[in-house]
Amino acid sequence: MSGTETGEFLLLLATLFGLTFALGGLLEKVRIPSILGALFVAMVAHYTPLGTYLTQPPLNDAFTFLAQLGVLFLLLFIGLQIDLQMMKTLSHDIIWLTILNTAVPFILGMAVMLEMGYGWVLAFIIGLTRMPTAEAVIVPILDEFQLIRTRVGQFIVGAGVLDDVIEVFLVALVSVWIGNKATGNTIGTENVILQIVISILIFLLLAWVSYRWIIPFISDWLPRRQSNLLLLAILVLFSFGGFSEYANIGMVVGAIIAGVLLQPAFTKMAIVGEQTTQTIRAISYGFFAPVFFFWVGLSVDINGILDAPALAILLYLAGTIGKLVGVFLMVPMKKLTTREAWTIGVGLDARMTTEIIVAKLLLDAQLIDLHLFTALVAAASFTAITVPLAFTLLVRKWGDQLRGVTQQPTGLD
């Protein structure tokens, strides 16, 4: 960007931050997380010249990069907060939750597409977009209500990470399908899936070696100061975030794993580790989280619901109802209480990035029409509005009980 464009960009960000600061104070008075002020401000800005400037090159490129960097730092902090012992205890239940909360939305999504007259292949692809969770949308609110280290938080984060693996295969599948349609080729899917599996295995091996030897060695290289530990955190974050993105696993997985890998080094440094954690939190929630929610808000397109109301609403309901039904199946299995099921089901309904990325790939390849593309974007946009608000209301009502749940659930309140 030129000097003038940089100045414009900074002034536009200053305007968004100023409006968010003002609105955040009002939201806090009614016990709504102030971070949602960034989302609401950007949603309004979407229909003003300010939003137009930020969504056009070259400002859009810089803005998108900051938003992606925000996701990295937010999920690094979440990784540092993950209770590994609790996660290990809940691992079997988290796998069950992931299976159920992805299978049901997938089936409903396919059913909607088939009912609307679309073919089986496209119905399968769109059904897959009902499955993943955009945990970056919900984790700031989890942290705001001090729920990350609770059963609810561990279930949402754990299932969200596994969802991201599904997201990798989803994007790969769509990319290969588009390539085959364009070239008339009928092979290639197996090779892509094999490459992804190999990448995941290499990533896991690298994570294990780093956890056991590399990070402990590096953490002792420099004096135990907050600035040095922060430098180590950024090194690990960018290394694993970059490698996971380069290997098509997704930087979200890399960021969370980076936080988990850094836990022993932070714990070993005691007060310095705690101070550095709070510094990362301040950076993440003071700057990067608002920028990320600005990006989400500017991506929201409410007009899409008006342009394709029936299909947009049906796709939204397929995902939302599917997530809730899938999670509630855990209640009769004695894995969750009813309150936990409502809260987790709403939290896992956050969808944004995968839905829009896949829709854009399909539209650019002329495999879907503008009508379906608009409906997909509108359905994703609606969850960006409803999920944070609904989740906030549930936690305001049941927050104390959710934070105090430590015993095994009975399926009852």
Block mean pLDDT (10 aa), the chain, length 413:
86 94 88 83 89 85 89 88 82 93 94 92 87 81 87 90 74 68 58 77 93 92 91 95 82 87 92 94 90 84 71 92 96 94 94 72 76 84 85 91 62 47
Q: What is the pLDDT of residue 190?
A: 66
Tell me which residue of 360, 296, 267, 326 sits closest to 81, measured CA to CA. 267
CB 38 within 8 A of CB 137: no
What are the residue ranges of helices labelled H in 118-250? 120-128, 135-144, 151-183, 189-209, 215-219, 226-246
pLDDT in the model for residue 21: 94
Q: Cis check for the bond before 58: say yes or no (omega within 30 of 0).
A: yes
Instruction: Please name the fold of domain 3-403.
Output: Na+/H+ antiporter like fold (1.20.1530)
Question: Which pLDDT value is given to residue 407?
Answer: 43
**φ/ψ of residue 131, rounded to 5:** -90, -50
Residues 178 and 175: their CA atoms lie apart, in Å, by 5
Name the pTM for this structure.
0.79
Collapsed DSSP state (helix, strand, coil) of residue 382: helix
Helix (H, G, I), strand (E, B) or coil at 188: coil
- What is the sign, positive or negative, of the torsion defined by CA atoms of 363, 352, 176, 131? negative
Residue 290 structure tokens: 């608002």
pLDDT of residue 176: 66
Neighbours of 337 (CB within 10 A): 22
Q: For position 410, what pLDDT does the model report?
A: 46
